[in-house]
Amino acid sequence: MLRSVLVATLIGIAASIGASHLNAQEPGDIYWQLVPRGIMADQRLQYAVILLTDTESAAERSGVEGMLINGDPRVAEIVAETELPQAEAMMLFQAAGFDPPDEAVSEARRCRFWTPDEGTLLETRVKLGIALGEAMSEGLDTLGIDIQTCERTTDRDAADILIWEYGQDYGFPKDIYFVDEESFIDGNVEHPGTTGIPNVSPPATGDAGLR
């Protein structure tokens, strides 16, 4: 399999993100972050979903002017520059052991997003959660993975997506992973020596599995 410079760069960013990146850069900026839960604890799958999600369209539909994905402003810039997001996402699923994705992955439950009740941009953040859920569902459908759109939850610990704004700090540190908990998608394949979550422990960093 050919090495993807884009994917390696994204995962390199994920490995370098520290606590200083967990605050938005300017008033009005909004963060959203995928929670590393279940098979989504594998950073390759996180970025596969991000690549498939039309974040620009979601931002426009919800009135978001500044959006930072997965704790770092560089992620949105790199994702916007990729010419073949579906092909890159397919490669990430395959590298994580889910090949073909439409047979190896399915919806486990409905996706949930969480955003705090306080803050000046609550209505915008809720709209963004709904729009991201729609865009994520549409994106995964291009690989044959059928999921429902996301619904809001009041339980932060049960969420798959966190959304917060400038002045708030609700992102998960990069070293926290909920490998044993169920995500909104799960694998239909069992790999030797795993519990159905291939290549997750420890979480992937660098360009492992991308050659």
Please state the φ and ψ torsions of residue 151, each to the nearest 5 degrees: -120, 155
The larger pLDDT score, comparing residue 9 to residue 182, is at 182
**Residue 142 pLDDT > 90:** yes
> How far apart are the C-alpha atoms of 102 and 188, rounded to whole Å?
10
Angstrom CA distances, 38 to 22, 56, 121, 198, 210, stand at 22, 27, 30, 10, 21
211: in domain: no
pLDDT of residue 140: 97
Encoded tokens for 51: 């690549």
CA atoms within 13 A on the CB side of 87: 8
**Residue 188 pLDDT > 70:** yes
140: in domain: yes
194: in domain: no
42: in domain: yes
68: in domain: yes
209: in domain: no
199: in domain: no
207: in domain: no
pLDDT digits (tens, 9 = 90+) for 89-120: 999 999 999 999 999 999 999 999 999 999 88
Q: Are 79 and 28 in contact (CB under 8 A)?
A: no
Domain count, the chain: 1
Q: From 59, 6, 70, select the one nearest 36 (Cα to Cα).
A: 70
Most confident of 22-31, 54-63, 109-118, 166-175: 109-118
Residue 178 DSSP class: B
Residue 142 lies in domain: 5-187
pTM given for the model? 0.79
Model confidence band, residue 203 (pLDDT cutoffs 50, 70, 90)? very low
Specify the CATH number for the domain of residue 118.
Answer: 3.10.105
**Residue 20 pLDDT > 60:** no
